[in-house]
């Protein structure tokens, strides 16, 4: 007599549920297989490091004595992060909206009905990718920038003839606050990517998510500069980009406007991200797809 078929092989037997580790591998495969991911990462690296180097050279080569008190050799070496956050936001948005546009999100939620867990897996993978890219950009930009600030040009235009002097304004990673600021650049880009992911989950449309992310991260801070002076110093520092950028500076001011402390500012930025993620999680549970 043949032995009875095991329960595992019996018709109608349920497959073992996908573990969180399996979900992470699945999401890593998805984000890796998107053709846009590689090219957008390359664009982020080129844009961030390129603009950081250009701006670091521009600042270090055109200093005046009255500007020296405002020079932040870390911030001024990594200014390209402000532009890199725009391209990293594209990766964050597409990481989830691509599934809505192709309809594969239905398959994902069929295989893993726990929708919040799916969102958690997506944000974990994206955070790792964005953080790795951000740290690479931050460290490379920092070291390039310090090469410029090691021989900064200061021009005194008060006299009949310009007086040009060269100063060593560079800082080392071992100096107070510098390593924190450089690592903070990577954390800043990672948070920007997660904000875009949350917006993608909320809006379920690639163009809408990217446009909203760019508006929040880039356009709103620019418009805030047109606020009355009495409001500007109180409002600007609480905006997502301005608050988050405090973590990659070693000076407490941005021009005439006082900034939040490094971790306080980054905490405010993370609070924006968590609020968007919480809203996305609630809507994911309530929607049909």
Provide DSSP, 177-223. THHHHHHHHHHHHHHHHHHHHHHHHHH--HHHHHHHHHIIIIIHHHH
What confidence score (pLDDT) does residue 176 get?
A: 93
Question: In whole angstroms, what is the distance from residue 232 CA to residue 273 CA?
Answer: 23
The segments of the chain whose pLDDT lies below 70 read 1-17, 159-161, 253-257, 288-289
Residue 15 CA, chain-centre distance (Å), reads 38
Q: To 10 degrees, the CA torsion angle through 206, 212, 217, 220?
A: 160
**Could you tell me which of 95, 86, 30 has the C-alpha nearest to residue 219?**
86
Under DSSP, the state recorded for 68 is G
User: 63: which strand partners?
Assistant: 154
Structure-block tokens of residue 88: 């990293």
Cβ contacts of 126 within 8 Å, gap of 6 or more: 31, 91, 92, 95, 193, 194, 197
- The count of other CB atoms within 10 Å of the CB of residue 22 is 14
Q: Which residue has the tokens 């990577």?
A: 186
Output phi, psi for 239, to 5 deg: -70, 150
**Could you tell me which of 40, 137, 141, 48 has the C-alpha nearest to residue 89?**
40
- Interior/surface letters 111-126, b for 16+ CB within 10 angstroms, e for the rest: ebeebeebbbbbbbbb
How many contiguous H segments (helices) and E segments (strands) does the chain have?
A: 11, 4
* Per-residue CA distances from 183 to 68, 133, 140, 248, 249 (Å): 25, 11, 12, 8, 11
What confidence score (pLDDT) does residue 162 get?
A: 73
For the chain, give every domain's residue range.
22-286
pTM of the prediction? 0.88
Are 134 and 189 in contact, with CB atoms under 8 Å apart?
yes
Q: Which residue has the tokens 């497959």?
A: 15
What confidence score (pLDDT) does residue 78 get?
A: 96
């Amino acid at each position: 007599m043949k032995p009875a078929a095991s329960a595992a092989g019996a018709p109608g037997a349920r497959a073992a549920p996908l573990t969180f580790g399996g979900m992470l591998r699945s999401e890593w495969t998805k984000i890796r297989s998107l053709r846009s991911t590689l090219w957008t990462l390359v664009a982020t690296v080129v844009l961030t490091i390129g603009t950081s180097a250009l701006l670091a050279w521009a600042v270090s080569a055109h200093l005046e004595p009255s500007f020296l008190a405002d020079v932040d050799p870390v911030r001024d070496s990594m200014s390209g992060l402000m532009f890199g956050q725009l391209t990293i936001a594209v990766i964050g948005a597409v990481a989830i909206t691509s599934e809505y546009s192709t309809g594969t999100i239905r398959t994902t939620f069929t295989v893993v009905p726990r929708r919040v867990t799916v969102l958690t897996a997506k944000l974990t993978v994206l955070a790792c990718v964005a953080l790795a890219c951000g740290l690479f950009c931050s460290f490379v930009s920092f070291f390039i920038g310090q090469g410029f600030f090691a021989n900064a040009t200061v021009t005194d235009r008060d006299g009949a003839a310009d007086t040009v002097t060269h100063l060593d304004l560079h800082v080392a990673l071992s100096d107070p606050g510098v390593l924190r600021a450089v690592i903070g650049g990577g954390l800043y880009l990672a948070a920007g990517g997660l904000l875009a992911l949350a917006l993608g989950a909320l809006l379920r449309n690639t163009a809408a998510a990217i446009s909203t992310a760019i508006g929040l991260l880039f356009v709103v801070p620019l418009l805030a500069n047109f606020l009355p002076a009495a409001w500007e110093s109180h409002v600007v520092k609480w905006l997502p980009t301005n608050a988050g950028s405090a973590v990659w500076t070693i000076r407490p001011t941005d021009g005439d406007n006082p900034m939040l402390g490094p971790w306080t500012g980054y905490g405010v930025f993370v609070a924006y991200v968590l609020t968007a993620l919480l809203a996305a999680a609630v809507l994911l549970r309530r929607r049909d797809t």
